[in-house]
Amino acid sequence: MRSAHLRRHLFCAALVALVASVAAGFVAAPAHAQAGGVHTKGTTLTLDGQPWWPAGMNAYQLATNWAINAGCGAQVDLDEYFDLLPPKSLTRFNVFESLATNKNSGKRDWRSVDAVFEAAARHDQKLIPVMAAQDGACEDEQYKQHSWYVDGWKTSAHGLASSFKDWIEEVVTRYRDAPAIAAWETVGEPEPGVCSVGQFSVCNWDVAYCPSDAATVLRTFFDESGAVIRRLAPDELITTGLIGGGQCGSAGGEYEYVNASVNVDLLQYHDYGADGIPLPGDEWNGLQARINQAKDLDKPILVSEIGQGAGAPCATHTQRAADVDNKIGGQRLAGTAGALLWAFVPDPRQDDCTYDVGPGDPLFGVLAKYNTVGDVDPPTPAPDPDPDGNGSADLGSSGSSGSSGSSGGFGSSGGWGSSGSSSGSGRAGR
């Protein structure tokens, strides 16, 4: 993530300090440095110094352990899950405060989260831990309002932690330098909007609005929360978790403004409701616009959620795999830095239309095709095996899907717009 110039600067500074300390009669501890791991080089990612284009999975429930914590999704056999992925792939998962709290004693208990990091390291896999969800899923179920992004994240209690800031410090202190770390993400799909909270603590979108200072508030949040991470893990990447579809505080040019933070290294885009289309969205908030903004910032952009339904009455599993193959292939050629599917579940709903991706799903073959390390030519998208969509070529035996319903996003004009990504069943715990 650091440029060659900065690395040389840090090395020279450390060398000067070392010489001075020796002259004074003692040797200081060496400055923290990370020789390998995940870094950025312009708009691309590198792994141990080689170009890396990760194709992986969202598996939000990996830290669920029903004997220890309250859980967030189904419990997963970690070794079986990581065995499904191509070598040196990438997984985004939840490291919520509730998942590090023992449901019986009410005390801090890291065993379930530790197990994920340990299993990923055994399988030479990389992780993006997400520390909280915008909608409070699997924790307090409270939508994070504008005031939370202003200062609530620093002043309000967060489970056993005195604040979310303290939770960030707990997590990063424990897992910094872990072999599996790819990047840190504080909040999944952040939006500093204002809404009235209705039944079941759900935001009432009909009366939601976006304050005029939302972009400034979001940028300050990234600056300050990123500084907490940077202080503790200066050589590890930080990503934002933004949807990228025109949400509150990140619509249009605001997306580039908030991602210009010195404490943001890796941009994100979430892709739903455009099956088989590599570059969805309009000229202001579509993926091509986001790729262009990433190039302006000289930072990589990861399409960190790609969701498509499969199973009756949606596409077949083979058709979904072909659609996603075409999508990822086109996005890679357009300049994205990686892709993650939404979402792995160990017990896919076979007879429903959901985003579920279970063991044996043909999508794992797509991931194996596109996940690459080293200087390689981008793979060519496969031809559509079922161009008529009648399911005649369906060879998939597992996984199922759900219908996706369009959900709005906060528009840049201060009202509730319709430019957000689609969401569907099975997206709990983002």
Q: What is the CATH number of the domain that holds 111?
A: 3.20.20.80
Do residues 239 and 158 both lie within one domain?
yes
Mean pLDDT of the chain: 85
Do residues 92 and 234 both lie within one domain?
yes
pLDDT surpasses 50 at 410: no
In this prediction, residues 307-324 reach a mean pLDDT of 95
Do residues 26 and 140 both lie within one domain?
no
Do residues 278 and 338 both lie within one domain?
yes
pLDDT surpasses 50 at 22: no
What is the layout of strands, in order, in the sheet containing 339-341? Answer: 237-239, 183-188, 126-133, 90-94, 55-58, 339-341, 301-307, 267-272
Instruction: Give the domain extent around 353.
Output: 42-424
pLDDT computed for residue 21 by the predictor? 37
Task: Name the residue type at position 338.
Answer: G
pLDDT surpasses 50 at 293: yes
Do residues 113 and 140 both lie within one domain?
yes
How far apart are alpha carbons 295 and 52 in whole angstroms? Answer: 17
Do residues 68 and 1 both lie within one domain?
no
Give this prediction's pTM: 0.84
Do residues 144 and 251 both lie within one domain?
yes
In this prediction, residue 239 has a pLDDT band, given cuts at 50, 70 and 90, of very high
Q: How many domains does the chain have?
A: 2
Write the pLDDT tens digit of every residue in 50-77.
999 999 999 999 999 999 999 999 999 9
Do residues 176 and 48 both lie within one domain?
yes
Do residues 26 and 143 both lie within one domain?
no
pLDDT surpasses 70 at 34: no
In this prediction, residues 296-307 reach a mean pLDDT of 98
pLDDT computed for residue 401 by the predictor? 30
Number of other residues whose CB lies within 10 A of the CB of residue 41: 15
**Is 261 inside a domain boundary?**
yes
Do residues 25 and 116 both lie within one domain?
no
**Is 430 inside a domain boundary?**
no
**Is 429 inside a domain boundary?**
no
Do residues 10 and 77 both lie within one domain?
no
Do residues 65 and 84 both lie within one domain?
yes
**Is 133 inside a domain boundary?**
yes
